[in-house]
Amino acid sequence: MKLWAGRFSKEADKKTNDFNSSISVDSRMYAQDIEGSIAHAGMLAACGIITDKDGKQIIEGLEAIKKDIESGALQIDPDAEDIHTFVEATLTERIGEAGKRLHTGRSRNDQVATDIRLFLKGECESAKGQLQKLIEVLQSKAEEYKDTVMPGYTHLQRAQPITFGYQLLAYAQMFERDLDRLEDAQKRMNVSPLGAGALAGTTYPIDKAMTAAALGFDSYAKNTLDAVADRDFCIELAAALSLVMVHLSRLSEEIILWCSWEFKFIELDDAFSTGSSIMPQKKNPDIAELVRGKSGRVFGDLMALLTVMKGLPLAYNKDMQEDKEAVFDAFDTVKLCLTAFIPMLDTMKALPENMRKAAAGGFINATDCADYLVAKGLPFRDAYKATGELVALCIEKQTDLEGLPLEEYQKVCPLFDEGVYEAIKLESCVKRRGL
């Protein structure tokens, strides 16, 4: 029987039931639903709204349901309208009249808002743990390759010398910001909606602070309309996860470039690469490519949440049932990507000789050459022009700045002396910048 069956004289159409049902999505919140109901029942008994006996029966019944679901002794009914209906119906079936008292002073509106916050707190912790592991791998690789010189790029053109370790630390910084964003969103999410009822609270003398504390919330919602209508936290989390995917996708793009024959800066482990069905020589960076592709899926989840919420009047509307599928998918996708990406990165090997060769061939020490002249007293714009002439000369003679004879330097500017070769040495360029 539906929880709302009293108002209706006949059963809903089967297709309507299927369309209305959310059990396929929200069943994964069974533990949080039971946790919230246990806290609610304990509060009802403590406030004298139900008897201690009924409260004890309800709590023991709920604990048994959770245990049976986890052991497989109880299967969640796929025909149930939602997880809340299933748990309450199962409880009443098992303990009788006392089960019917559980929903006193509560609505599914504040119940589901509570469940999803509890569930997403756990999802945040899981994602944060993976991000922390990714940062640690990046930091370890950065230490391993702290002296490996490579070209830094702008516009995908060789620009200035850096180290491979420094490049990896740039991504570590991005993921550290992602951690901060998730933690910041968690703080705003950690507010209990219980006690808001359908939209206007309840006439029962409930204790919102008690249930909030029992469930680990920092506080409870002050406005009941906002409590049941708020899904900002879902949007915030999806936005934070979208940025995680932006950063994963950017790093994936670099990995894909780096392991191509055109760059050949890195080698991916065979365990994290795939081959071709027709070309036996191929070794494809499929994990990086899939991560890059799946970024669009998470962006779509964010856009779906924004679109669902943008035109909703207060308070609860059924549109909001779409919140869970989008934010759950965002977390699932990010965690799946990190699960594959972290070991791929951890087993990645750099090819320092290829990086050094590329760094030597792109005049990426030209700025340092100009700075050398500035240190000799020449204005920067004059030094810039002189160095540009030297680069043009090197191209004409098919050499680089390190291979150009000193007399050619001095023809362009007499301030040059033997010290220029140490100044433009790639390792010196990197060291002076503290990279």
**Does 36 have pLDDT greater than 60?**
yes
Inter-residue contact 120 to 401 (CB < 8 Å): no
Structure-token pair, residue 162: 């850096």
**Does 302 have pLDDT greater than 50?**
yes
Beta carbons within 10 angstroms of residue 201's beta carbon: 18
* DSSP secondary structure of 320-358: GGHHHHHHHHHHHHHHHHHHHHHHHHHT-EE-HHHHHHH
Q: How confident is the model at residue 2 (pLDDT cuts 50, 70, 90)?
A: low
pLDDT digits (tens, 9 = 90+) for 376-410: 999 999 999 999 999 999 999 999 999 999 999 99
Of the residues 24, 219, 260, 276, only one is catalytic, namely: 276
Q: Is 155 designated active site?
A: yes
Position 15 scores a pLDDT of 65
Q: Which residues contact 163 (CB under 8 A, 6 or more apart)?
A: 145, 146, 147, 148, 149, 150, 430, 435
Fold that domain 5-104 belongs to in CATH: Fumarase C; Chain B, domain 1 (1.10.275)
Mean pLDDT of 337-344: 98
Position 146 scores a pLDDT of 97
pLDDT digits (tens, 9 = 90+) for 73-93: 999 999 999 999 999 999 999
Please tell me which of 209-218, 267-276, 395-404 the model is most confident about, judged by mean pLDDT.
209-218
3-state secondary structure string across 352-379: HHHHHHHHHCCCCCHHHHHHHHHHCCCC
pLDDT digits (tens, 9 = 90+) for 132-172: 999 999 999 999 999 999 999 999 999 999 999 999 999 99
* Element counts in the chain: helices (H) and strands (E): 18, 6
Task: Give the gyration radius of the chain's Cα atoms.
Answer: 31
Helix (H) or strand (E) holding 219: strand 219-220
pTM over 0.85: yes
> Distance (Å, rounded) from C-alpha 223 to C-alpha 205?
17
> Distance (Å, rounded) from C-alpha 29 to C-alpha 111?
11
Position 4 scores a pLDDT of 44
Fold that domain 363-432 belongs to in CATH: Ribonucleotide Reductase Protein R1; domain 1 (1.10.40)
Position 432 scores a pLDDT of 92
Domain 124-134+167-355 has what CATH class? mainly alpha
Of the residues 126, 155, 252, 273, only one is catalytic, namely: 155
Could you tell me the residue ranges of all domains in the chain?
5-104, 124-134+167-355, 363-432
Q: Is 219 designated active site?
A: no
